[in-house]
Chain A
């Protein structure tokens, strides 16, 4: 599908800044001194488990909930006290909330009409936005005559029609089934390529969506921000146990920190094995070693440990075949370790002793927290 470039793409230019935003609902603290900065033109994903305050954060930016404390700025302008209409935002909610009594065209035109724009300008902009989301063929349908994915596109077109600085998306794909979700994710990415100046705050509980779409990710838990960073860095170097476990799968092994070596490396002991890993600022002698299942491979039992890698003896417990991958469950010094491998011709039998190998750089040391 080819997309017309948005003529006004350049006018989207405003980041979001939330500082110390606290929201209480009758006693329960939904958002606790929350700070977040979304650079103009970037996509920030806000992820976290259910009930952690993601929607509340988004609604605070939109102006639907008034923070008990803190400030919110959009495009450098303090909007904390402004009503939603004055904030220059477009919002798409989980249920899409299309106006059921209006056709697709009327839905998309709503914001422009409400702002009193003249008819010809409204018609041109509506056509442009419907083309942008590939819905130009459905102009006269009612929302109930559209599929979930189509409703979602109309909701996005409606939000974009008023040329907002900021697009707020609250779990926009959660009502769709997996194949459509993947396709819509690609389309959202394409949409952002067409509107490079648009700032997007994307709320989801799906880490896959966040990693695919966003350049930065913030992780929320219990109304607090537990981690934030560029998506890849956050995935490769999670700062804490929660981030490691929430963003992708992680093996977290308890290790003893033995000493620091030159070049920012540390030696840790796991059972009787010494491993070299990137050093991290960790107090105390105990730490968690974070290893992604697909960063570990099988080594020849006879292989010597070169300086560039770590070898880890392990005993195989179980082998799961998952079609395109083999998942091995192993025991290392009394702790469970999962390894995800490309399909094996001859999977070893449970009970076999194996040597595992991983590059020091693929491991991350985390502060020790009991799970």
Chain B
């Protein structure tokens, strides 16, 4: 920031902090508050309870958390692998062809997720590709929704890598796989982690496509939350949301830690 006086800088930070608090903090804080609420008629809850949060420890929410985390991991890891491959493959492609392919990648993210779900439902409801009613169609939906982000992040990271590093490696006798493993991927680690994290977070929160395709055996947390709030169980929905947030943060923190361990040596 181009503010030199200490007073101006602290004012700017305060204003920015308040704005962020308003936009991010207040909704999340209210959800947390609602998850602890027994009754809420006035401006503030009149009665607090831990029973909603305790309810998330029951079998059904736990199964939904498991479905969400597994879906998120599978979809984001698949998206990461595919996005990285696509970014590497398209690196040498220039101009129009590449722009068209990127458009195809990014299009699902521009469409309402419900439409994506509908499309998958129509496409995979008859043989030979009969995925309807299985976990696979949920995974496919999540993959479609998050793969463009993985591709975009890895491609941006690749564009930043000096070409000379790989050329020098090549001149030293490193084959394509060796270069990928020892030079390109290690240098892309921050982008890979970011791509995985964003993909996982998006998948954990994915609702629109999932409601269109999920089988009864694979209810994700957002679907559960939607069901509860639809039935008017707002405080239980809030408690499930807290569970969803906690699960997401736990996985993302674990991934960041893994990377630190791998990179720190």
Contacts and interface: CB of A to CB of B under 8 A. Distances in A.
Contacts of B187: 100-101
B167 A84 contact: yes
A158 interface: yes
A100 B263 CA distance: 12
Contacts of B174: 85, 110-111, 114
Given A101-B186, A110-B182, A114-B175, A84 B164 contact: no
Interface in B221-252: none
A93 B172 contact: no
A64 B165 contact: no
B164 to A, nearest CB: 4
Interface residues on chain B, size class: 10 to 19
B60 interface: no
Contact of B164 (A63, A95, A110, A162): A95
A97 B168 contact: yes
Nearest to A110: B172
B165 A162 contact: no
B169 interface: yes
A168 B162 CA distance: 19
Interface string A209-241: 000000000000000000000000000000000
A89 B172 CA distance: 8
Contacts of B173: 85, 111, 114-115, 162
A242 interface: no
A81 interface: no
Interface in B121-176: 162, 164-165, 167-175
Contacts of B169: 99, 110, 114
A158 B171 contact: no
Contacts of A62: 167, 171
Interface in A52-91: 62-64, 83-85, 87, 89-91
A100 B178 CA distance: 17
B93 interface: no
B162 A97 contact: yes
A314 B187 CA distance: 65
B170 to A, nearest CB: 5
Contacts of B165: 97, 99
Given A91-B168, A93-B168, A97-B168, A85 B182 contact: no
B48 interface: no
Contact of B172 (A64, A85, A100): A85
B183 interface: yes
B164 A111 contact: no
A351 to B, nearest CB: 55
A90 B164 contact: no
A64 B171 CA distance: 9
Given A85-B174, A114-B172, A64 B183 contact: no
Contacts of A110: 169, 172, 174, 182
A63 B171 CA distance: 8
Contacts of B182: 99, 110, 114
Contacts of A99: 165, 169, 182-183
B168 A89 contact: no
Looking at B162, B173, B183, B186, which has the most chain A CB atoms within 10 Å of its CB? B173
A100 B182 CA distance: 11
Nearest to B178: A114
Contacts of A64: 167, 171
A111 B263 CA distance: 21
Interface of B: 162, 164-165, 167-175, 178, 182-183, 186-187, 263
17 contacts: A62-B167, A62-B171, A63-B171, A64-B167, A84-B167, A85-B170, A85-B171, A85-B175, A93-B168, A95-B162, A97-B164, A97-B165, A97-B167, A99-B165, A101-B263, A114-B169, A158-B168
Given A84-B171, A114-B169, 12 more contacts: A64-B167, A83-B170, A84-B167, A85-B175, A93-B168, A97-B164, A97-B168, A110-B169, A111-B172, A114-B172, A114-B178, A158-B168
